[in-house]
Chain A
Amino acid sequence: MPVDTKLSASHLNFCYKRDGKTTQVLSDVNLIVGEGEFLCIVGPSGCGKSTLLSTFAGFLSPNSGEVRIDGGVVSGPDPRRILVFQEPGVFPWLTVEGNIEFGLFRKPRAERQRRIAHYIELVGLKGFEKAYPAELSGGMKQRLEVARALAVNPDILLLDEPFGALDSITRLTMRRELLRIWREERNTVIFVTHDIDEAVQLADRVAVMSGRPTNIQQTFLIDIEHPRDISAPRYLELRNAILEELGIAHYV
C-alpha cells in the first residue's frame, strides 16, 4: 500500500559539545515516516532517541542533514507537530480546560469551546474540567497532556516515552487509549520507547536504533491486526526479532 511521505530524515548528524568535548549522538540517520503511520522507535537507553525526536520537533537543529515534513525543511518548533514528554509538562497553574485551551489562542471562542469539550471527552477527563493538575493522577495528567497536544490538531504527534513514568497497569490502559484516539484522529504518531512490548503492541512499524552514535539499524513492519494478541506466534516472533536486533538475549 503506497502512502504519502509525511516526514523524512536524511543523513542527520548531531553532536553535543560539552566542556570542549564533542560527543556524536546521531550518525547518518535516515528515516521515512508515512502519512498517518504509527511508528515506534526503540533503542538502548541513552542512545539518542530523544535527541532524534527533538530534531523532528525542531527544538534541535542537526549539524548536517535535514528533516523534511511535507517536503518543507524543519527549522523550528511548530504547532503542527507537538512533542509530548515523559514527565508531564501540563501547566500546574491552569485547570484541565485551561491546559487544553492553551494552544488554541488563535481560534475563535466557539471553536475553542468545541475543541475543549471534544478532547476532554476523548481522553476521558469528563467531570474534571475545572480540576487542577495537582488533583489528577499520573495517568490523568499524561492523558491531559495528550489532549492538549491533540487539541491544536497537529499533523504529527511526537511522543517521548510518554508512559514511562506510569505504573504498569496504567501503562496498559494508556496504550489502549492511545490506539483508540489514534484511530479516531489519524495523526502521524512517532513514539519513542525503551519498551519493546509497547512498541510491538502499538506500532505499524518499529525502528530499531543502535547504540551511540546512533542510526536506524533496522525497521520491522508489524503486520498484525489490532486488537493484537500478545501471545500469538507472530507477535512473539516479531518481538524476539527486535530483541535479537538489539542484541539482547531472550532469557533474563
Chain B
Amino acid sequence: MNSFAKTRKWEEVLWPVLASALFLTLWHYSVAWTATKVFPSPLAVEKGLAELARKGLLWAYIGDSLRRVALGFGAAAVLGIPIGLTLGWYPAVNQVVNPVLEMLRPISPIAWIPVAILMFGVGDVTPVFLIFLAAFFPIVVACVSGVSSVPSIFRRAGRNFGLTAPQLLARVVFPASLPSIIVGLRLALGIAWMVVVAAEMVAVDSGLGYLVIDARNSGKRYDLVVAGMLTIGIIGLALDLCFRRLRNLESVRWGFRDDS
C-alpha cells in the first residue's frame, strides 16, 4: 500500500459528511425547483421519520427487519459454512453437488416468494426462509473457493505434524480460508438486507419493507416511503461497516493486506 495515499482520520469523516450534505442539498433544490407534488423534500422525509418514531413504529419495524435478517442470515451461516467447507474439502462431492448449486444460485430469492408463501404461509417464516436462500449460496461458494485456495504447503505442514483429517480441517483449512469466508459473509449480508425488504412487501405486515409498500398503498405517503428507503440504506451501510471491522481481527488481517 502506498503510504502517501493514506487518508488521515479527520479526512475519513470529512469527505463522506460533505458528500452527504451535497446530496441532501441537491435533493432539496431539485424538489423545490421542479415543484413536484409527488416526490418529498428531505425536510418532509425528516418530518415523516419523526412521525414514525413518535408512533413507535420506526424502531419496531427496524427491529422486525433486523430480527428476520439475523435469523435467516444466521441459519445460512450455520449451515452454509460447514457445507461449503465440506464441499471444498471433498472435490469429488463438490463435483456431484456443484451443478445443482450453480443452477439454484442464479434464481433470485424474489422468485421463491410464491413457493415460500405456499410452503410457510403468510408470517415470519417466509421472509426468514427467503433471506436464508439469498445468503446461503454466496456463503457456500465463498467457503468452497476459500478451502480450495488454501496453499498445499499449509495442508502438508498440518499432515506432517500428525494432524488427523478433522484436526486439519479445524486447525489449518478453516483458519486459512477464514478471510474468504468473511468476504462471502459480508456479501451475503448485503444481499440478505436487500431481500428482507422485498420479502416484507408481500409476506408480513411489519418491517421496513412493509413500511415502504404500506405507506404507498394506504394514502400515497411518499414522505414515509422515502423515509423507509433512507432507513434501509443507512442500516445497510451500518451493517456493512460492522462487517468490515471483522477484517481487522489479528487472525484474519493477513488475508486482506492488499485491498484498502
Name the CB-closest residue of A to B254. A92
Q: Tell me which of B160, B175, B253 contacts A77 (CB under 8 A).
A: B160
Q: Tell whether, in the assembled complex, residue A91 and residue B175 are in contact, meaning their CB atoms are under 8 Å apart.
A: yes
Q: Tell me which of A79, A82, A93, A103 contacts B251 (CB under 8 A).
A: A93
Q: Tell whether, in the assembled complex, residue A89 and residue B250 are in contact, meaning their CB atoms are under 8 Å apart.
A: no
Q: Tell whether, in the assembled complex, residue A78 and residue B175 are in contact, meaning their CB atoms are under 8 Å apart.
A: no
Q: Tell whether, in the assembled complex, residue A134 and residue B161 are in contact, meaning their CB atoms are under 8 Å apart.
A: no
- In the complex, whether A28 has a CB less than 8 A from a CB of chain B is no
A83 to B154, CA, bound (A): 12
A59 to B162, CA, bound (A): 12
Q: Tell whether, in the assembled complex, residue A103 and residue B156 are in contact, meaning their CB atoms are under 8 Å apart.
A: no
A77 to B161, CA, bound (A): 8
133-171 of chain B: CB within 8 A of chain A: 151, 153-154, 156-157, 159-162, 167, 171
Q: Tell whether, in the assembled complex, residue A103 and residue B161 are in contact, meaning their CB atoms are under 8 Å apart.
A: yes
79-138 of chain B: CB within 8 A of chain A: none
Name the CB-closest residue of A to B252. A93
Question: Which label, helix, strand, loop or mixed, suits the secondary structure of the B interface?
Answer: helix
- Interface residues contributed by chain A, number (CB under 8 Å): 22
A59 to B159, CA, bound (A): 9
Q: Tell whether, in the assembled complex, residue A87 and residue B254 are in contact, meaning their CB atoms are under 8 Å apart.
A: no
Contacts of B251 in A (CB 8 A): 93-94
- In the complex, whether A62 has a CB less than 8 A from a CB of chain B is no
Name the CB-closest residue of A to B161. A103
Contacts of B159 in A (CB 8 A): 59, 77
A-B contacts, CB under 8 A, total: 55
Name the CB-closest residue of B to A90. B157
Q: Tell whether, in the assembled complex, residue A93 and residue B175 are in contact, meaning their CB atoms are under 8 Å apart.
A: yes
Instruction: Tell me, rounded to whole Å, the shortest Cβ–Cβ distance linking B177 to chain A.
Output: 10
Q: Tell whether, in the assembled complex, residue A89 and residue B161 are in contact, meaning their CB atoms are under 8 Å apart.
A: no
- In the complex, whether A43 has a CB less than 8 A from a CB of chain B is no
180-219 of chain A: CB within 8 A of chain B: none
A59 to B161, CA, bound (A): 12
Q: Tell me which of B160, B254, B257 contacts A93 (CB under 8 A).
A: B254
- In the complex, whether B178 has a CB less than 8 A from a CB of chain A is yes
Contacts of A133 in B (CB 8 A): 254
Contacts of A91 in B (CB 8 A): 154, 157, 172, 175-176
Q: Tell me which of A83, A92, A94 contacts B156 (CB under 8 A).
A: A83
Q: Tell whether, in the assembled complex, residue B176 and residue A134 are in contact, meaning their CB atoms are under 8 Å apart.
A: no
Contacts of A52 in B (CB 8 A): none
Q: Tell whether, in the assembled complex, residue A134 and residue B257 are in contact, meaning their CB atoms are under 8 Å apart.
A: yes
Mask, B172-187, CB within 8 Å of A = 1, is 1001101000000000
A249 to B100, CA, bound (A): 61
A134 to B257, CA, bound (A): 9
28 contacts between A and B (CB under 8 A): A57-B160, A59-B160, A78-B162, A82-B161, A83-B160, A85-B153, A85-B156, A87-B153, A89-B151, A89-B153, A89-B156, A89-B157, A91-B157, A91-B172, A91-B175, A91-B176, A92-B255, A93-B176, A93-B178, A94-B175, A102-B157, A102-B171, A103-B161, A103-B162, A106-B162, A132-B254, A134-B254, A134-B257
